[in-house]
């Protein structure tokens, strides 16, 4: 299979290297197009000025992986990947991200955006995240990262693409869809299984942290610590907290149909735009 892989942690991040190498070992034709530096939290921003795409040999990659770096965002990387480096890619993978992308994270996430751009371009797309928790700046070091678990999950998903992307369209063919995957940061032996989930709340505390520069000037760090101990059954947050891989399909339509219907056409008709 021809696979395009991107991320938001940058071309040198361990997650993208581990996943790309493993899929290349399994015989897939893998092309990587990733940002030249970390672009976490970039969301679905795109660059409207000039972009540069450079093929290279980057440390850690299997020689069978075609690797490119881009000076743009994660979404830019996928666009350049499908437009230039790998136009015949059948699947777009994003990740493996270091950190979860659950709940409202999906609006900020460059990882999800890189996969979503593949979905926009009519491909099957998967965003892969390892749910490593980052403590607040004054609360100690971060967890050990179990990338081997997320790599194995990516293998299983690629081996079973028809379960997620097949059999829905005409003649049972694959459809474009976006699957958001969050893997608990646990050894593989401790993973409880897979669950289909919905997007939970993913709340944070102390999101804006004030720190001082060496010159004594204040600056601000937007991060915060998760506050997810109470989460609804069936959500991605609850599944990951319980040791399950959370699988959530995302879509274009973010309409709140309940509020649309509650306002109603009669009330809208009363609004007169040409009257003071």
Least confident of 11-15, 134-138, 165-169: 134-138
Least confident of 28-37, 132-141, 202-211: 132-141
Res 211 pLDDT > 50: yes
pLDDT above 90 coverage of the chain, percent: 65
Token duo for residue 110: 């460059």
Res 228 pLDDT > 60: no
Number of CB atoms found within 10 A of residue 207's CB: 12
Res 167 pLDDT > 60: no
- Cα separation values, 130 from 5, 22, 107, 240, Å: 16, 16, 17, 10
* Nearest partner of 35 among 82, 86, 75, 71, judged by Cα: 71
Res 189 pLDDT > 60: yes
Mean pLDDT rounded to a whole number for the chain:
89
Tell me, what's the pLDDT at 67?
98
Least confident of 5-14, 35-44, 57-66, 246-255: 35-44
Res 75 pLDDT > 80: yes
Tell me, what's the pLDDT at 208?
75
Number of CB atoms found within 10 A of residue 265's CB: 8
Binned at pLDDT 50, 70 and 90, residue 145 comes out as very high
Task: Decide if 29 contacts 65 (C-beta within 8 A).
Answer: no
Res 160 pLDDT > 60: yes
Tell me, what's the pLDDT at 43?
85
- Cα separation values, 160 from 153, 203, 222, 251, Å: 11, 32, 38, 21
Number of CB atoms found within 10 A of residue 87's CB: 12
Question: 20 or 47: whose pLDDT is higher?
Answer: 20
Least confident of 61-65, 88-92, 226-230: 226-230
* Nearest partner of 92 among 4, 192, 221, judged by Cα: 4
Q: Are strands 177-184 and 225-226 parallel, antiparallel or unpaired?
A: unpaired
Task: Decide if 211 contacts 219 (C-beta within 8 A).
Answer: yes
Q: What is the set of domains in the chain, with CATH numbers?
A: 2-204+232-269 (3.40.1210.10)
Binned at pLDDT 50, 70 and 90, residue 101 comes out as very high
Res 196 pLDDT > 70: yes
Tell me, what's the pLDDT at 107?
92
Tell me, what's the pLDDT at 169?
47
């Amino acid at each position: 299979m021809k696979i395009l892989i991107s991320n938001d942690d940058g071309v040198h991040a361990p997650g993208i290297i581990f996943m790309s190498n493993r899929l290349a070992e399994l015989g897939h034709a893998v092309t990587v197009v990733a940002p030249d530096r970390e672009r976490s939290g970039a969301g679905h921003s795109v660059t409207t000025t000039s972009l540069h795409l450079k093929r290279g040999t980057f440390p850690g990659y299997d020689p069978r992986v075609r690797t490119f770096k881009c000076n743009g965002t994660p979404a830019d990387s996928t666009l350049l990947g499908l437009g230039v480096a790998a136009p015949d890619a059948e699947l777009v993978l994003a990740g493996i991200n270091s950190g979860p992308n659950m709940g409202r994270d999906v609006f900020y996430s460059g990882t999800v955006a890189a996969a979503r751009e593949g979905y926009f371009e009519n491909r099957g797309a998967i965003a892969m995240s390892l749910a490593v928790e980052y403590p607040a700046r004054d609360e100690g070091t971060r967890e050990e990262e179990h990338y081997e678990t997320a790599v194995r999950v990516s293998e299983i998903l690629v081996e079973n693409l028809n379960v997620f992307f097949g059999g829905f369209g005409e003649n049972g063919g694959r459809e474009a869809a976006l699957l958001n995957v969050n893997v608990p940061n646990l050894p593989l032996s401790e993973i409880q299984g897979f669950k289909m989930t919905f997007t939970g709340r993913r709340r944070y505390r102390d999101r804006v942290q004030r720190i001082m520069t060496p010159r004594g000037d204040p600056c601000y760090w937007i991060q915060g610590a998760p506050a997810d101990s109470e989460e609804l059954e069936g959500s991605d947050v609850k599944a990951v907290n319980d040791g399950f891989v959370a699988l959530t399909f995302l879509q274009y339509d973010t309409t709140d149909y309940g509020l649309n219907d509650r306002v109603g056409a009669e009330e809208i008709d009363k609004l007169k735009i040409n009257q003071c």
